[in-house]
Amino acid sequence: MSFPDTLIPCCCFLAGPTASGKSALAMLLAERLGGEILALDSMTVYRGMDIGTAKADAAERQRVPHHLLDLVDPEEEYSIADYLAAATDAAKGILERGRVPLFVGGSGLYLRALLRGFSPGPAANWDIRGRWDAAARERGPEWIHGELQRVDPQTAARLHPQDLRRIIRALEVWEVTGRPISLEQQHGPRPPELRPRLAVWLDPNRDTLRDRIAQRTRQMLNIGWLDESQRLLQRASGLSRTAAQALGYRELFLHLRGELSLPEAVLRIQTSTSQFAKRQCTWFRSLEECWRLELTGRELPEEMLERLAMQIGGFAPAVAVQ
């Protein structure tokens, strides 16, 4: 499943690491372009996972229409192929209304799949994944990253040693097919005429971003993230393997089970989120189709919008649907 070539030039893309301020900027950008927002996120598709995924609230959705949110229950698996199919339908509907599809989020993998296409590879083999997962937990992330380096150095160079989910998937593909996953994912950029008219990623100062992540973690807990996690933990059906990968929930589950104190859980969330933000920037940096907007991390949304307009030469009709 690929996002159609004909849709890409009609769409705009705003990406950035978690807590970079992209959601507030997106609201202003959507209003400036006459657009509707499509979530570029692998976790906001889940119902009931609202606070921990920083999902747009009711007021934001009323101000600007949002799409690709609350598509499935947390016990359901959701794949990139599922996302691309839903994104295609949503973008077509927005264009039919004479509006501009604006993809906004932090998933580098989803962004790359939209811009360049995606080969899903073999179906998941949970026995193989479980074996590699157990080995990683016993021997540590550096060891399993070294195993990937041995069979697929290209993918190992791209993945952080802490990115266990993607490392294990790469090892699984190698074990099932005998071929490195990098051979399956060698999709280059589309030609210039098939690229988006506006694609930008936010790159805030690292120290400021860490402070913003710590502050946002505390804010999310203050508005009920722990209660939300308790409700998810009590679901008889549990969480799917994909939903369980959402940042922060695992640590809060450990706290709720009495295995971590709340301060310990918070520190782990802040640390893992900062590491994740660094990996996000690595994804975005690899996409030549996307402009980089360097920020201090302290700009107001209005200031970011004007900086963006200056960098791309203004929001001319060229970025709107033609």
Contact 214, 207 (CB under 8 A): no
Q: List the structure tokens of 261.
A: 């104190």
- Of 3.50.50.60, 1.10.20.140, 3.40.50.10490, 3.30.470.10, the CATH number of 126-184 is 1.10.20.140
Question: Phi, psi (5° rounding) for residue 224?
Answer: 115, 20
Q: Residue 237's pLDDT is what?
A: 86
Stated as kind and residue range, the H or E segment containing 221 is: helix 206-222
Q: Residue 185's pLDDT is what?
A: 59
Domain locations along the chain: 8-116+196-316, 126-184
Contact 168, 129 (CB under 8 A): yes
Q: Which of 74, 5, 10 is CA-nearest to residue 42?
A: 74
Class of domain 8-116+196-316: alpha beta
How far CA 132 is from CA of 61, 167, 179, in Å, comes to 41, 9, 17
Q: Residue 319's pLDDT is what?
A: 44
Can you tell me the distance from the alpha carbon of 163 to that of 188, in angstroms, rounded to the nearest whole number? 23
Q: Residue 317's pLDDT is what?
A: 45
Give the Cα-Cα-Cα angle 278, 279, 283 (nearest 5 degrees): 120
Q: Residue 120's pLDDT is what?
A: 65
Q: Residue 184's pLDDT is what?
A: 61
Can you tell me the distance from the alpha carbon of 108 to that of 274, in angstroms, rounded to the nearest whole number? 15
Give the Cα-Cα-Cα angle 50, 242, 122 (nearest 5 degrees): 150
Q: Residue 177's pLDDT is what?
A: 85
HSE-CB of 236 using CA atoms within 13 angstroms: 0
Question: Which one-letter DSSP state was computed for residue 51?
Answer: T
**What digits encode the pLDDT tens for the residues 68-98?**
999 999 999 998 889 999 999 999 999 999 9
Q: Residue 197's pLDDT is what?
A: 83
Q: Residue 322's pLDDT is what?
A: 38
pLDDT per residue rounded down to tens, the chain (322 residues): 679 999 999 999 999 999 999 999 999 999 999 999 999 999 999 999 999 999 999 999 999 999 999 999 999 999 888 999 999 999 999 999 999 999 999 999 899 999 998 776 677 788 898 899 899 888 998 899 999 999 999 888 878 787 888 899 889 988 888 888 776 655 678 888 889 989 999 999 999 999 999 999 999 999 999 999 999 999 978 899 889 889 999 999 999 999 999 999 999 999 999 999 999 999 899 999 999 999 999 999 999 999 999 877 776 544 444 3
